[in-house]
A and B are shown apart, each in its own frame.
Chain A
Amino acid sequence: MQLTYVLILAALLFCIGIYGLVTSRNAVRVLMSIELLLNAVNLNLIGFANYLDGQQIKGQVFAVFVITVAAAEAAVGLAIILAIYRNRQTVDMEKFNLLKW
């Protein structure tokens, strides 16, 4: 059990999140991918806090804040998706291309 493994795991999780973020057609799955990204970040923070900063564990404090902000972001994001859905009757990301060309 080393820091490197933790970091690699977090990076893989981040990549999966990015993949989901870019490829998903469903807007809710995009939000869920963002949650994956934030969780990958939290893993990094906690990993660094454990191995490098055992005394003051600033990383854990950051992780608490990130979880908080993630919750708020999910709430706002879902609200936005609901608002869009009410207007356009769809959550397909490929239909939201008003700025095309």
Chain B
Amino acid sequence: MLQSFADTVWLIPFYSLAGMVLSLIWSPGMTRKTGPRPAGYLNLLLTFFSFVHALLATVAIANQPPQYLHWTWLDVAGLHFDVPVEISILTTTALMLITGLNLMAQVFAIGYMEMDWGWARFFALLALFEGGMGALVLLDSLFFNYVMLEILTLATYLLIGFWFNQPLVVTGARDAFLTKRVGDLVLLMGVLAIYPLAGSWNYDDLAAWAATAQVDPTLITLICLALIAGPMGKCAQFPLHLWLDEAMEGPVPASILRNAIVVGTGAWVLVKLTPVLSLSSVALTGLLVIGSVTALGGTLIAIAQVDIKRALSYLVSAYMGWVFIAVGLKEPGLAFVFILTYGVAMALLMMSIGSIIWNSITQDLRLLGGLWSRRPISGISFLVGSAGLLALPPLASFFPQAELLDTAFAQLPWVGVVLLLMNAFAAFSLGRTFCLIWGGEVKPMTARSPEVFWPMILPMTVDLGLVLHLPILMGRFDWVIWTDPSLTTAAALTLTAILGWGAAAWVYLGRAIPKPVQFPLPSVQDLLAYDFYTPKLYKATVVGAVDMISRMTAWFDRTLVDGTGNAFGGATLLGGDRLKYSTTGQSQAYILTILMGVALLVIAICWPLLA
């Protein structure tokens, strides 16, 4: 009985798909009697089924080896492509995470979207998100994962652009789409380039091929760098990180999903590609550099943000940078575990601040304060979420982070330093956000901010319990092979986290430093607050170059290409206009023309005879 759930786990994306299609019934023209809400409840129900299915499947195949299913997708002219599906503890766990977090986000959305009339559209898009992610983790092929990444790009675009009557929303959606497309285009080059070499797109075949491959080092370096570019855009790594910040214009429930798991899908593809990337030392170094720069830059920028959602969005980039570092150190197992623990904790953080945004009118951290007495549940959720994200024992994220730190100090000590600094900065950033919202004195914006109603509190508390119990669950299900981190590592991580948090508490709770906090060097503060001036950098370089090139090509198109065509037309017009004067209307002129013509004809015919 249980086994049949495991065998049919590939059905899970179809639940979401069905929910998405059925939401059409409650499209705006049809909601006069029912209102749009049934669409939400229907999708919620189907997501619940997905979750239960994934849970039962996980229980069923807890200790089994992975199974693989194949369907023929394309079989033409000697080219044969299967749709490969991997059913293993890894994919069902990922499915459980995806459907579980979707369930929470959708319950949260019932509360958050209380007064919105776009329910059918919103829940349909969440279903598309869910189905795309479910299919991505099930499909065991680089090519099909690329397809799913594109579907997720589209869903991201639509979800960010949900409130499409606001200009910032429109530009945010556009930028997210274009930035991801840049990464995906380069990724597609890599995907297509690797097929003639490896002869397969299935991850197992790729890993088997990579184990013994003899390839030109330049070629494989280029391919690996192209393969990294896709996840770079997806995971909002420097310098493709700007979209995630702008994506915060979208509704909070979608941001919960995006920050918690959708960015993780890029990391998922990257982690699966670890054997291939290991072929090129340049690519591994590139991963480490990108990851380190993003980890440090993201946490530093997060510290300088005044918008709650933006402060968290840069932490998302930073922690995805952590995954890049893990892959760069060839630790795919740790990266998978971290994607799981990170997703659960980040969802909790996002839900907590989402509930704050919902009835505090403002998202500006400077205008909030003193909510601890009014919003204890949200506050505890934020505390537990930040503890779950930071490397704090005994919560789940601590173990992969500690183990990676051990590996880093054994292999590349500078990476270890980066990881410790990142932990301290992230702790400072989270501590700062907490102190600014929940600490200090009550301000006008927070004077009337009671705890929100149950659809938002329920998923928050459930996730809170999940974050707290995740280490136990992970031990129970054998998701992780536990290794004991060394005492110094554990102490270092704990110490940096506590120091960072403590420093934030001292700065933002104490009276020693005047508020708002001014950094001794205003230029550095501005640099961080304006996100290293990335928007200006984009505008000056890429956007400016594209703008200039498109102007030039438009000129070329209008003047030269169109001009040539128009010149032919003009010449014909002019010719007709001039030639009409040969029609004099005088019969004698016609007679002369005929006679001359006949004479010429006769000469032409008789020429050979005369000569």
Contact = CB atoms under 8 A, between A and B. Distances in A.
Q: Do A and B bind each other?
A: yes
Nearest to A95: B586
Contacts of B585: 96-101
Interface in A63-101: 93-94, 96-101
Contacts of A98: 585
Contacts of A21: 588, 591
Given A101-B580, A101-B581, A22 B591 contact: yes
B488 interface: no
Interface centre among B580, B587, B591 (most CB of A within 10 A): B587
A24 B580 CA distance: 24
Interface string A3-30: 0000000000000001001111000001
Interface centre among B583, B588, B592 (most CB of A within 10 A): B588
A29 to B, nearest CB: 11
Nearest to B588: A22
B584 interface: yes
Contacts of B586: 93-94, 96-97, 100
Contacts of A24: 588
B282 to A, nearest CB: 76
Interface string B155-179: 0000000000000000000000000
B595 interface: yes
Interface residues of B, number: 11
A100 B584 contact: yes
A96 B584 CA distance: 10
Interface in A21-69: 21-24, 30
Nearest to A25: B588
B503 to A, nearest CB: 94
Nearest to B581: A101
A54 to B, nearest CB: 27
A41 to B, nearest CB: 15
Contact of B583 (A18, A22, A94, A101): A101
Interface in B223-282: none
A23 B585 CA distance: 15
Interface in B576-602: 580-581, 583-588, 591-592, 595
Contacts of B592: 22
A18 B596 CA distance: 11
Interface string B552-594: 0000000000000000000000000000110111111001100
Contacts of A93: 586-588
A42 B581 CA distance: 37
Nearest to B595: A18
Nearest to B580: A101
B207 to A, nearest CB: 82
Interface string B418-429: 000000000000
A99 B588 CA distance: 13
A97 B584 contact: yes
Contacts of A23: 588
Nearest to A18: B595
Nearest to A21: B591
Contacts of B580: 101
A94 to B, nearest CB: 6
Contacts of B588: 21-24, 30, 93
A23 B584 CA distance: 15
Contacts of A101: 580-581, 583, 585
A90 B33 CA distance: 90
A32 to B, nearest CB: 14
A21 B592 CA distance: 9
B587 to A, nearest CB: 7
Contacts of B583: 99-101
Contacts of A100: 583-586
B146 to A, nearest CB: 66
B17 to A, nearest CB: 70
A101 B579 CA distance: 9
B597 to A, nearest CB: 14
Contacts of B595: 18, 22
B589 to A, nearest CB: 8
A48 to B, nearest CB: 19
Contacts of A99: 583, 585
Contacts of A96: 585-587
Given A22-B595, A97-B586, A100-B586, 13 more contacts: A21-B588, A21-B591, A22-B591, A24-B588, A30-B588, A93-B586, A93-B587, A94-B586, A96-B585, A98-B585, A100-B583, A101-B580, A101-B583
Closest 5 CB pairs of A and B: A100-B585, A97-B585, A99-B585, A22-B592, A22-B588
20 contacts: A18-B595, A21-B588, A21-B591, A22-B595, A23-B588, A24-B588, A30-B588, A93-B586, A93-B587, A96-B585, A96-B586, A97-B584, A97-B585, A99-B583, A99-B585, A100-B584, A100-B586, A101-B580, A101-B583, A101-B585
